[in-house]
Amino acid sequence: MSSETSRDVAIRVTGVTKCFQIYEQPHLRLKQAVMPRVLRAAGLEPRNYFQEFWALKGVDFEVRRGDTVGIIGRNGSGKSTLLQIICGTLQATSGSVEVNGRVAALLELGAGFNPEFSGRENVYLSASILGLTRDQIDARFDDIVAFADIGDFVERPVKTYSSGMYVRLAFAVIAHVDADILIIDEALAVGDAIFVQKCMRFLRKFRENGTLLFVSHDTGSVLNFCKSAVWLNRGDMVMHASAEDACNAYIEYCSQEVYGDAVKLKSRQAAREEGAVIKPKARVEADTRLEMFDNVANSAGWHSGSAAIDSVELGNPEGEVLTSFAGGEEVLLRVRATAHVALSSPLIGFFVKDRLGQSLFGEHTYTYIQPPMEVEAGTRLEASFRFTLPMLPNGDYSMTVSIAEGDPFANTQHAWLHDAVLIKVASPKLRYGLVGIPFEEVSMRRIGGGE
């Protein structure tokens, strides 16, 4: 039993299973409807004409009020099925779902609106299903149409809409019904960039008070948006953990799937010493704002056994290793790795990500090392990247480093360190946005008279 009271819980999913009945031929469905009764009446044991498919196999998790939870998993893992059960549009085979609050959902395209009705009629229909009175819808109609921004199409039947228009109107409705809980499926992906930005602004505001359940294949947007994530795999809930832990585990799993059983990835997490203290090396510059912590030994990640990352160092272009930087200066990043087997076209890469796991910048060696190198087992490699360190806003960052084999589009990862370098930025000036810009001068002056 959870320690949370029902008041704190927005969604509680307990032991939910879903079994679909699969009929190999359409007429077997009819047979299933009729035959068992006939056979029972004749005193015979009825048989089933379908195969069972378990899309969900006992899913348990809770979403607290105000939480933003991502649902991740590969195609067919049961994400949409779970959302439909939470929304009440699909019945679970067993288990229960408790939802506290008004739920509005943007599920897969095609669900929700009546295609024969106009946009206007569908707005009234779906907003009233979501609990708004006619007067409330009248009062909000113009805002909904302005948000959707689909012009005269609002008077035309929804069946004439493009998928982008459809999702615009559907999102506009759910954004105006005072929902306590929003459930967003991948549908948002069909909107154009400007509309998606508008939705994201709305969702960022919404999550200040509301509860959000967000499904995506894109771990980047889950990391960017969600506090925690539920990972589903073939109907099983593998984990419900912080978004970072769940996404890292999921990415690792997907990589393992690519390798197959031939190569067993070894988790570095398992080897990590509990409570290892990361000590920053000595500061070099007096007015430091950006500090680097070598974390190669403690970084979570994995390796296939074919190659390993040995060290990651950042320093000045002369090669002197430093741990403190101001941002804006030229730096040299050196990644050393060992190939334990012969590799054709090894590539070493890195990217710097923010606290939420959002990638900010990075590079790999492939485009610079042409033709690709061939190396024999036991070769030690050093990749060097010389670049201008950006000004990063205050916060914690980390650098992911990897060695792979192949090209940027088709490669086999051999070692991956999630947090090879930890970066702390403390500056009184840079505060906003993803990337800090060093402003040379900021001023304000009066350019006209006031009343």
Ligand X SMILES: Nc1ncnc2c1ncn2[C@@H]1O[C@H](COP(=O)(O)OP(=O)(O)OP(=O)(O)O)[C@@H](O)[C@H]1O
CB of 249 to ligand X, least distance (A): 17
CB of 234 to ligand X, least distance (A): 8
Nearer to ligand X, 73 or 393 (CB): 73
- With CA atoms as reference, report the closest residue to 266 among 300, 232, 298: 300
CB of 172 to ligand X, least distance (A): 23
CB of 182 to ligand X, least distance (A): 18
Q: Does 20 bind ligand X (CB under 6 A)?
A: yes
Nearer to ligand X, 77 or 211 (CB): 77
CB of 419 to ligand X, least distance (A): 28
Nearer to ligand X, 215 or 223 (CB): 215
End-to-end CA distance of the chain: 65
CB of 386 to ligand X, least distance (A): 41
46, 53, 94, 378: which one contacts ligand X (CB under 6 A)?
A: 53
Nearer to ligand X, 108 or 149 (CB): 108
Cα Dmax for the chain:
98
Bridge partners of 53, per DSSP, are: 20
Binding mask of the shown chain, residues 126 to 145, with x at each position contacting ligand X by CB under 6 A: --------------------
Q: Does 92 bind ligand X (CB under 6 A)?
A: no
Q: Does 54 bind ligand X (CB under 6 A)?
A: no
Nearer to ligand X, 76 or 305 (CB): 76
Size, binding site for ligand X by CB under 6 A: 12
CB of 24 to ligand X, least distance (A): 12
- Provide the CA 189 distance to its chain's centre, in angstroms: 13
Residues 409-448 that bind ligand X (CB under 6 A): none
Whether the CB-CB separation of 353 and 417 falls below 8 Å is answered with no
CB-based contacts of 142, cutoff 8 Å, min separation 6: none
Whether the CB-CB separation of 67 and 207 falls below 8 Å is answered with no
Nearer to ligand X, 29 or 47 (CB): 29
* Separation of alpha carbons 148 and 142, rounded Å: 10
Q: Does 55 bind ligand X (CB under 6 A)?
A: yes
Strands of 236-242's sheet in order across: 103-106, 181-184, 211-215, 68-72, 228-233, 236-242
Phi, psi of 100 (to 5 degrees): -110, 105
Piece of the chain touching ligand X by CB under 6 A; list 35-43, 68-76, 130-138, 190-198: 68-76
CB of 33 to ligand X, least distance (A): 16
Whether the CB-CB separation of 247 and 219 falls below 8 Å is answered with yes
- Dump strand ranges (E) for 323-394: 324-325, 330-339, 343-344, 346-354, 359-364, 374-375, 380-388
Nearer to ligand X, 78 or 327 (CB): 78
CB of 73 to ligand X, least distance (A): 5
Angle at 116 between CA 113 and CA 119, to 5 degrees: 55
* Separation of alpha carbons 302 and 153, rounded Å: 52
Residues 70-89 that bind ligand X (CB under 6 A): 73, 75-81
Q: Does 22 bind ligand X (CB under 6 A)?
A: yes
Nearer to ligand X, 80 or 288 (CB): 80
* Separation of alpha carbons 282 and 144, rounded Å: 57
Binding site for ligand X (CB under 6 A): 20, 22, 53, 55, 73, 75-81
